[in-house]
Structure 1
Amino acid sequence: MIHPYNRLQVCAMLSSVESLGFSEVRDALGVSDSVLSKQVKVLQEAGYLAVRKETHNSRVRTWLALTPKGRKALTAHLSELRRIAEAAGLRD
């Protein structure tokens, strides 16, 4: 679920913060709104991402946050990648 590049990057970006704005994530990844929206939807449906919308000065802002389930999945995924790298003789 997390392995595709853009999803992994989204989860990694959100792992160290409480939440980030959709536009900040989009710009950091260098993707379009539609590309990010598709990845967000997949992660949200898996229960890994929470999406919150806020209105401020007549503008809607979308915030993304990693859920506890998402943090656990990311940690497990990164642990498995480390195990694979070590098995291949690669080190940090």
Structure 2
Amino acid sequence: MTADLDPVIHPAHRLRICAMLIAGGTLELSVIKEHLDLSPSALSKQVAALVDAGYVKQERLGADTRRVWLSMTRQGRKAYQGHVAALHEIVNATTVSSWE
């Protein structure tokens, strides 16, 4: 295997957050919360790990400073793509035919 799993992205909730941001561009935090069905504190912890790693940018846009918007950084996109490539390698290397 040549690609490595990213330890920041690997936890399931963080992987799902990244997948949503890759698909949706910039999303409001409340939208992510609804889809993941996480408590505010649990979501905050997962987002903080991604922000601290430089993978996700967190902003308050416009006059309503209560609304938080998230988007992937260039570094985050690259890390996510590498993580997905590593997952594909694992799946492709462990197909049923390789066990026969």
Give the alignment's TM-score, normalised by structure 1: 0.90
Which among 28, 35, 43 is matched to residue 21 of structure 1?
28
Structure number with larger C-alpha Rg: 2
What count of residue pairs does the alignment treat as equivalent? 89
More strand per residue: 1 or 2? 1
Structure scoring higher RCO (CA < 8 A, sep ≥ 6) equals 2
Q: Where in structure 2 are there 5+ consecutive unaligned residues?
A: 1-7
SS at 1:3 equivalent: coil
1:69 maps to 2:75: yes
Name the structure 2 match of 1:45.
52
Aligned: 1:9 with 2:9: no
SS in 2 for 1:39: helix
C-alpha spacing 1:43/1:88, structure 2 compared with 1 (3 Å):
same
Paired position in structure 2 for 1:34: 41
Percent of aligned pairs with the same amino acid: 39
What amino acid is aligned across from residue 34 of structure 1 in structure 2? S
Matched, 1:83 2:65: no
User: Runs in 1 of length 4+ with deviation above 2 angstroms?
Assistant: none
| Separation in structure 2 between the aligned mates of residue 17 and residue 52 of structure 1, nearest angstrom | 16
| RMSD of aligned residue pairs (Cα, Å) | 1.3
